[in-house]
Amino acid sequence: MDIFSIGTLWRIAIRDLGRNQRRSILTFIAVAIGLALCVVLSGLMTGSIDGALQNSIRLQTGHVQVRAESYDEDIVTLEWDDLLDDPQARANNILSIPGVKSAAPRLWASGIIAKRDESINVRVFGIDPLAESSDAYKEAIIEGHFIDPEDREGVLIGQRLAKSMGLVVGDQINLMVNTSDEQPDEAIFTIRGLFNTNVPAYDDATVFLPLSKAQAITRVGDRASAIVIFLDNRKDADMVANVLYAPEYEILTWNELNQVLLGAVETSAGMLALMYMIVLAVVAVVVVNTLLMAVFERTREMGILASLGMKGRQILMMFLFEASVLGLVGMFFGIVLGSLGVLYLANVGWNMEELAATAATAEIGYGSTIYAKFDFHDILSLSLVSLGITLLGSLYPAWLAARLEPVEALRGL
């Protein structure tokens, strides 16, 4: 009868870990900190990507866009053939589709703001101030007031842009815009309000005009660049796009409109995975070192156990059990510590204003504060990978202990 049952091997493994409590505790801490760091990084990445996507949808793309088939976003074309005619009537028809929350025309143009000797390139948004899709801009007003639909001389600019140019509410600016006939036009406008969306890419270089005034100054008649649609549930975007399909239109969903961001996500995910592996590999080295020290300290003991009938595979299993205890305990505390870190960053956030201002673009609207977000799938995956790497790293010390010859082990070799 084999006296070294699975239960006995577990008890020996736990007892052996208690022999050098300081070393075991330090190993637990290393595993916990390594996993906690990965969990926090995962939460930050998930939160920053989700936040950037929400910002892009809320401030620019909407869930679905209807454009003329020939519209070219890269050059912000204003040629009549590239724009939608009678966009308000089309938007009203779209509102009757189930699941559509709001639909409103928008006109986009390139412009330059000038004040004395200073000028800055900006994006000009012609919006319907009364449309529900403009609520995100209305809620961002921090000084002054929102523009009225019939205001022919008022504009809104970002607080960051105003600060950089020394402007305040009530100041006048010279705004030059491109037009449909490719001859720039300019006019004097009064700043009605300052907005702060907490997205530097927009606050640094965006000007809002009432749609009617934007159409007039760009000489496009009653046309618009697109109809921006918001849905009750973004998962319905493909369904709504299919309903709206027509050969003369280009129907784009939020997924297609945010390809730059989604492409950046894939690149970031690969880099983050590499960071995870580096952190967990360092943790594995700590575990390997702990078990190797245990093998060298217990060489004679291994010889005694082998002479009592413990087989090599049982010695190997015993060390794997020790690694499992180290990994499981460290994993538990790592999940707890990491979750607390994610919870803190989900509520307080991490101020990244200067980095966001440098790295963000109109296509990737990183907020000035990044909030972490729980991703239970990532936490579970990272925990299992951490445990797996810990066990994988323990194979060498376990194999080294298992191959010891009893006579040599008793001599302490």
Domain ranges of the chain: 6-57+261-410, 70-246
pLDDT tier, 124 (very low <50, low <70, confident <90, very high otherwise):
very high
* First vs last C-alpha separation in the chain: 29
Q: How far is CA 139 from CA 34, 146, 160, 193, 276, in A?
A: 41, 9, 16, 12, 39
Q: Which residue has the higher pLDDT, 157 or 277?
A: 157
The C-alpha R_g of the chain, in whole angstroms, comes to 31
C-beta separation of 174 from 194 below 8 A: no
pTM: 0.78
pLDDT tens-digit series, residues 40-80: 999 988 888 888 888 889 988 999 999 999 898 888 889 99
DSSP 92-139: HHHTTSTTEEEEEEEEEEEEEEEETTEEEEEEEEEE-TTSGGGHHHHH
> Which residue bears the tokens 């590499």?
274
pLDDT tier, 306 (very low <50, low <70, confident <90, very high otherwise):
low
Q: Which has the minimum average pLDDT: 79-83, 298-302, 386-390?
A: 298-302
Residue 168 is predicted with a pLDDT of: 93
